[in-house]
Every structure is written in C-alpha cells, then in structure tokens.
Structure 1
Amino acid sequence: MTLSARNVSWGVGNVPILKNVSLDVRGGEFLGIIGPNGSGKTSLMALFAGIRKPKSGDILLDGEPIGALGRREVARRLALVEQQAETGERITARQAVELGRTPYLGALSPWSANDEAIVDTVLANVDMTHLADRSWHTLSGGERQRLHIGRALAQQPGILLLDEPTNHLDIGHQIGLLDLVRRQELTVVAALHDLNHAAMFCDRIAVLHSGQLIALGTPRDVLTPTRIRDVFGVDAAIDRHGADGCSIRYLRPEKQKALVS
C-alpha cells in the first residue's frame, strides 16, 4: 500500500504552511517526518489522512486521489493517531479501541467474535487489558494515548499515520509503542519530535523546514551535525554504530560556544 504527495501546497488564508512538497511513501516502510515546530509536520499528516485538502497538488492513496475515495474506504486503508483527540462520550477504555472496527460494521456486518478477538489482541499489545473496563475520563494522558494507538491498530489499516504519537508517554512506553508499531506489517508515517526515536525506528527520514521538504534519506544520511544545526539551531555529535545505526548527542550551550570560538 502506497501514499504520495505530488507538488502539495497548503496554508491558512494567505499564510503558506506547506510549499510544493513531493514525497512517495514506500510500501512497508517506516518513514519519519521531522522538523521544528511550525515546519508543517501536522499539516502534512492531515493532508495524508484526507482530513484537509491541498490548495494545490494531489495526495494519492494507492495511486488514486484520496479526495475521490469515500471516508469508509479511506478508513479501511489508513488510520491516523492525532496529537490530541478527546471525546465527550462516557465510554470505557475497551469501547475506545472498539471504535477502530467502525469502518467494517454495517447492517449486513454486525459486531462479531472476530471483532472481539481483534480488540482483545490490541488491548494486550498496548498494555491496557487491565484497564479495559475503566472510564475514559479516569485515565491519564499516557493511557489515553495508548488507547488511541490501540484504536488505530484495531482498524487494521495498511497505512498507519502517527502525529507525534509518544506525547504524554514515559520513556518505557515511548520505546515500547514505537517498537510495537515497527513490528507490524504496516506502512508507517510518523511525525516525530525525538530525533533519536527517528534514528532508532525509521527506514527513512523526511526533513521539513519552513514548509519545505529539504532532505529525504536514511537516518545516517539525513541526521548530520550540519543539518541538525541548520534546522534545529543546536549543535550535536553523531555516534555511528553497526552498518546503518546512529544516535545523537546534543551538546550543552557552553560546549557549543567553545566549538565556535
């Protein structure tokens, strides 16, 4: 399953947010999107999900314009986990995950034992089985985020879109959930703040800066000291390990000044 942006631009009023972005997401890859706040990451994710329409250009899902597809059809192919998604409904943790099965239900397709089994598996995978009967409004922000990811996995999409999915999670659940997603047989596009998460889990990384795509490649190719300094305004050292691995060590401000002097 593939997803593409073709010369996509989008903005608010006369303020451009994304400028002529072209990007092909390969089937089965984990693609990370990084960039500073305001670079257009969330806007691009919304365009990929079909929530927003580009002012120019096209978003293609399996080669078809996403705007030409019905919402149910899109929901059967891709799922989005947003940064913040709340509900005023009085539902349980389990019912929140059950919402992921909605695209498959109808008058001729009622809730089944298969749906039940999928929800059971997902709750276990996101470590929420023990809280399945708890009210949504009694859960912490991190627990709710795990359920949002669970709802998306229950949707059984071919493509999973994650907009800063580790917000509100402790480090153990951050790594655990990204590892869980990485092990699924899915095409994954994730907007990430943590560059080390991008280096650890992504096959390729796209860098957005001021609404433009300025780099695309493997973590080792993209995450260089010069690019991190130019895009994020900090100095860093890159540790390389193994054939493809790398990790980032940020330098304290006094060390940055020492390097300049």
Structure 2
Amino acid sequence: MTLAACNVSWSTGGVSILRDVSLDVVPGEFLGIVGPNGSGKTSLMSLLAGLRRPRSGRVLLDGDAVEKLGRKDIARRIALVEQQAETSERISARRAVELGRTPHLGPFTPWSARDDAIVDEAIRNVGMAELAARLWHTLSGGERQRLHIARALAQQPQILLLDEPTNHLDVGHQIGLLHLVRQQKLTAVAALHDLNHAATFCDRVALMSGGRIVASGRPNEVLTEERIRGVFGVDADVEFHGEGRCHIRYRAPGSPAAERPMLKRIS
C-alpha cells in the first residue's frame, strides 16, 4: 500500500505551516520525520492521516485522494497515534484498546473471538497485560501512551502513523516501543524528536525545517553535522555505522574545536 504527499501546502490563521511538501512513503519501510518544534511535523502527519485537507496539493492513498475516502475506509488502512488523545469516560485500559477494532465492525460483522485475540495480542505487545483491567484515569501518561500504541496495533492497519510516540515514556519503553514498531509487518511513519532514535530505527529520514522537507534519505545521509548545525542550531559529532546508520553526540555550546572527540567510522 502506498501513501504520498504531492506538493501539499497548509496554513492556519493566515500563517503558512507547510510549503509545497512532497513525500513518498515506501511500502514496508520505517520512515522517520524529524525537525525542530514548529517545522510542520504534526501538521504533515495530520494531512497524511486525512484529518486535515491541504490548501493545495494532494495526499494519495494507493493512488486515491485521501479527502475523497470515507473515514472508516481510511481507518481500515491507516492508524494514527497522536501526541495527545484523551478521554473523560471511565473506561478500562482494555476497552480503550478495543476501540481499535471499530473500523472492522458493522451490522454483519459483530464482535468475535478473533477480535478478542487481536486485542489481547496488542496489549501484550506493549507490556500492559497486567494493567488491562485498570481504569483509564488511574494510569500514568506513559501507560496511556503505550495503550494508544496497542489500540493502533489492534486496528491492524497497513500503515501506522505515529506523532512523537515516545512522549511520556522512559528510556527503556522508548527503545522497546520503537523496536516493536520496527518488528511489525507494516509501513510505519513516525514524527520523532530524538535524532538518535531516528538514526537507530528508521530506514529513511525526512528532515523538516520551516515547513519544508530540506533533506530525505538514509539516516547517515541526512543527519550530518552541517545539517544538524544549520537546522537545529547545535554542534554535534556524528559517528557513521554500517547499513546507513549513525550515532549523534551533541556538544555543549561554546565547546572549543580542540575538545571535539575524534570521529570514527564503524563498518
């Protein structure tokens, strides 16, 4: 299944947020979208999910304009994990994950044992089985975020969109979550803050700045010292690894060049 943004622009309140953005999502890849705050990552994710309509340009899902598809049709193929998605209802953790099955239910397809099995597996995958009976409002922010991921997995999409999915998670769960996403047999697109997460887990990275994509390619091609300095305004040393990977070490402001560690290329 293919997903593409074709020369999309979007604005709100008279302010241009996205400017002529084009992006092709390769089936089966884990694509990371990185950039500073305000660069347009969340807005682009909303357009890809069909939640917003571009001012100009098109978003295509398998060649069809997303804006012409019904929400249920989109939800059968695309699942979105947003930064903030809360509920005031007193529902259990398991019930929150069961909502992921909604696009697949209907008058002639009622809830079944298969749906139970899919929900159980999704909850186990994010390590929340022991808390499945807990009420939503009693859970921590990190636990709720893991359940959002489980809900998306229960949706059984072919494309998984994640907008800063590691927010509110500790380091262990951040790594575990991104590893879990990478192991899924689906296409994944994640807007990420942590450049090392993108460099470690993503097959390809799109770097945004000022509402545009300024570079796209394998992590070691995009996350160079020059681009990190130009886009984020920080100095860093980049170690290049095999298979397009790299590791970024940031330097404190004002660190003299003489104190920079020697770069190593690891094959």
TM-score norm. by structure 2 comes to 0.95
**Structure 2: 5+ residue runs without aligned partners?**
261-267
**Cα deviation code 1:219-244 (max 9, x no counterpart):** 01001000000000000000122343
Unaligned runs of 5+ in 1: none
Aligned twin of 2:74: 74
CA distance in 2, matches of 1:89, 1:256: 54
SS in 1 for 2:167: coil
Contact 2:221–2:244 under 8 Å retained in 1: no
| Mapped pair 1:108 → 2:100 | no
1:101-180 paired onto structure 2 within 5 Å: 101-180=101-180
- Measured in 2, the distance between the counterparts of 1:90 and 1:193 equals 32
Q: Structure 1 residues 179, 65: CA separation in 2 closer, same or farther (over 3 Å shift)?
A: same
Q: Distance in 2 between matches of 1:256 and 1:236?
A: 12
After the TM superposition, which segments of 4 or more aligned residues of structure 1 sit over 4 Å from their partners? 256-260
1:200-215 → structure 2 map (5 Å cutoff):
200-215=200-215
Q: Distance in 2 between matches of 1:102 and 1:243?
A: 39
Give, in whole Å, the separation in 1 of the partners of 2:121 and 2:24: 31
* Whole-angstrom CA distance in 2 between matches of 1:253 and 1:190: 29
- Name the SS for the 2:173 alignment partner: helix
Shift of 1:259: 7.7
2:94–2:132 Cα contact (<8 Å) kept: yes
How many angstroms apart in 1 are the aligned matches of 2:130 and 2:192? 28
SS at 2:254's partner residue? helix
Q: Is the 8 A contact 1:235 1:256 kept in 2?
A: no
Residue aligned with 1:8, SS: strand
Q: In 2, distance between residues paired with 1:120 and 1:176?
A: 18
Cα deviation for residue 13 of structure 1 reads 2.5
Q: What amino acid is the match of 1:90?
A: R
Aligned residues: 260
Give the TM-score of the pair, scaled to structure 1. Answer: 0.97
> In 1, are the aligned partners of 2:162 and 2:190 still within 8 Å (CA)?
yes
Q: How does 1:13-24 map to 2 (within 5 A)?
A: 13-24=13-24
Give the secondary-structure state (helix, strand or coil) at the position aligned to 1:134.
coil
Q: How much has 1:252 moved relative to structure 2? A: 1.2
Matched residues in 2 for 1:254 and 1:115: separation? 56
CA deviations over 1:20-63 (Å, ceiling 9, x no partner): 00110010001000000000000000000000000000000111
CA distance in 2, matches of 1:126, 1:256: 43
Output the CA distance in 1 between the equivalents of 2:203 and 2:20: 23
Alpha-carbon distance in structure 2 between the residues aligned to 1:236 and 1:26 = 29
Secondary structure of the equivalent of 2:189?
strand
Shift of 1:257: 7.3
Equivalents in 2 of 1:38, 1:147: separation in Å? 27
Q: Which amino acid aligns with 2:239?
A: D
Task: Report which stretch shifted further, 242-251 or 165-174.
Answer: 242-251
Q: 1:256 to 1:157 in 2, by over 3 A?
A: farther
| Partner in structure 1 of residue 197 of structure 2 | 197
Structure 1 pair 50/256, CA: closer, same or farther in 2 (3 Å)? farther
Contact 2:218 2:245 in 1 (8 A): no
CA distance in 2, matches of 1:130, 1:163: 26
**Deviation readout 1:95-144 (Å, 9 max, x if unpaired):** 00000000011111110000000001111100000000000000000000
Give me the identity figure in percent: 68
Q: Distance in 2 between matches of 1:241 and 1:219?
A: 10
Change (3 A) 1:220 1:108: same
CA separation in 2, counterparts of 1:259 and 1:5? 43
- Structure 1, 122-131 or 242-251: larger mean CA deviation: 242-251
- Give the whole-Å Cα distance in 1 for the aligned partners of 2:244 and 2:193: 21
